[in-house]
Amino acid sequence: MTSIPRPPHAVVVPFPSQGHVNPLMHFAKLLAARGFFVTFINTDWMEQRIFKTPNDSAAVSNQLQEQGLQIRFLALPDGLPPDHGRVQAIYEYFQATQKLGPAMVRLLQSTANEAPPITCIVSSCFMSCTHQLATSLVLPRVVFWTFCTSAAIVFANCRMLLEKGYIPINVKEARRAENLITCLPGMIPPLRQTDLPTAFRVEDTADSTFQLMMYESEIQNKADYVLINAFEELEGPEAAEGLSKGYPALPIGPVFLPDFLQATKSSVSVATSLWEEDLDCLQWLQTKAPSSVLYVSFGSIVVMSMEQLHELALGLEASEQPFLWVLRPDISEGKATVLPEGFRERIGERGRIVQWAPQLKVLSHPSVGGFLTHNGWNSTLESISLGVPMIGWPLWAEQFLNGRFCKEIWRIGMDFESRVEDENALVSREEVEKVVRAMMEGPQGKELRKNVARLKEAATKAVMPGGSSYRNLDKFTSDMTARANSQFE
């Protein structure tokens, strides 16, 4: 009697921050829709922030199963005290995640009878502990890049950049020299040193964070398979080849888009927001004219000085443009945010301020005509996919590369001249007003909207049947399914 093969089983492990959990959760649903059994592993801290109560994850898992999607959620301690800053103390956070490998092995072994045999380990970049996990369980390790392909190539080639003297970076000297980087693999545009991630802006290569990035880079390159949350039409099909070290490297994004395009009232939404979303802002958007609202959000980690927040607020006020501003409770360097006196009264119904917003629903709303963003990759890719041009305000990590590509390569964004000269410069209220007016009222903004509309169409085609990302995801799932079937031969 021939046995019936059990489904492929992917263990999905995001780095425990919202910018990694979000795309990995969308990816998990894509796998489950293709017949995979998925185990999604969070840390306890992240699990509690997402699901709020211990029973929520089980309830969501049951709802998904009712729709034929087999996803179970597991969690383990990250080894840090409850009051630790986590992503706000990034070096210690990385150190903690690097030690999670043995605990993950024990967790999976203790729950092995609840799931099919594991086929592969999929982790977001910067989760080097999963290399130890995959090695211990003798399984292929898949690295999922949560950046654009060009930024992923930069991170994957830290050693080369160090050996050729491009890192560490002296920003002032780099701005004067404008020494273009042309040695990176893949057909990406030449980079400036100031495009490189902020982790490389240190005076001494012995710097602990610098060394941590070097280590993570080397472990990431030991993958058996690479997936990228981008689409070929954005950077060219050759770009992904720059990430391959003899194994497949496939752009499969935007991973959020298939679910978003096909959303129905019956589909199960897995909330991954660390803050409660203000849904009332969608009703407020309904009162505004098409393409008239500027959406302002700096993501889940960025902090700003109170002085800069005041200049931004007064610039938005002076622009006379409607705006929806996400103002996190912790955005002002851990202090309670106090806006300029009388600001809320003066803007009235022209502006809406919320602690957190349902970003995909906001960006896809007809009244939104521009996005003032930190250029994190999730936000940038969502804005591209939903056809909204950007005003870039990058602050750390690879955001400077994303911002320059939006402005100069893809021509879907603008920025602030003062921050081009000095990224730590205070952006004045006058410059905020000028740039916001140019985006929302000027001919440049209209041209950017036309350009991003073309990329929106390309992103949609990429994830639909026959599209580049759809085909690449099919290749990955076919490869893993073949491996799962071989386990039963």
- What dihedral do alpha carbons 205, 209, 214, 215 form, nearest 10°? 130
* pLDDT tens per residue across span 105-164: 999 999 999 999 999 999 999 999 999 999 999 999 999 999 999 999 999 999 999 999
- Both 95 and 230 in a single domain? yes
Gap between the Cα atoms of 12 and 261, Å rounded: 23
- Please report the beta strands in 20-132, taking only residues with DSSP state E, as ranges in sequence order: 37-43, 70-76, 120-124
* pLDDT tens per residue across span 448-489: 999 999 999 999 999 999 999 999 999 999 999 999 888 655
Gap between the Cα atoms of 193 and 424, Å rounded: 16
- Both 182 and 317 in a single domain? no
- Both 263 and 284 in a single domain? no
* Residue 4 belongs to some domain of the structure: no
* Residue 2 belongs to some domain of the structure: no
* pLDDT tens per residue across span 66-91: 999 999 999 999 999 988 988 878 88
Q: How high is the pLDDT of residue 179?
A: 79
Q: How high is the pLDDT of residue 87?
A: 82
- Both 309 and 265 in a single domain? no
- Both 160 and 82 in a single domain? yes
- Both 136 and 284 in a single domain? no
Task: Please say whether the beta carbons of 360 and 333 come within 8 A.
Answer: no
Gap between the Cα atoms of 438 and 432, Å rounded: 10
Gap between the Cα atoms of 120 and 134, Å rounded: 8
* pLDDT tens per residue across span 291-311: 999 999 998 888 899 999 999
* Domain count for the chain: 2
Give 197's DSSP letter: -
* Residue 455 belongs to some domain of the structure: no
- Both 200 and 328 in a single domain? no
Q: Which domain holds residue 303?
A: 280-441
Mean pLDDT of the chain: 92
- Both 300 and 201 in a single domain? no
* Residue 72 belongs to some domain of the structure: yes
Q: Find the CATH number of the domain harbouring 429.
A: 3.40.50.2000
- Please report the beta strands in 334-463, taking only residues with DSSP state E, as ranges in sequence order: 351-354, 368-373, 390-392, 413-414
- Both 285 and 243 in a single domain? no
- Both 353 and 218 in a single domain? no
If you compute the radius of gyration of the chain from its CA atoms, what whole number of angstroms results? 22
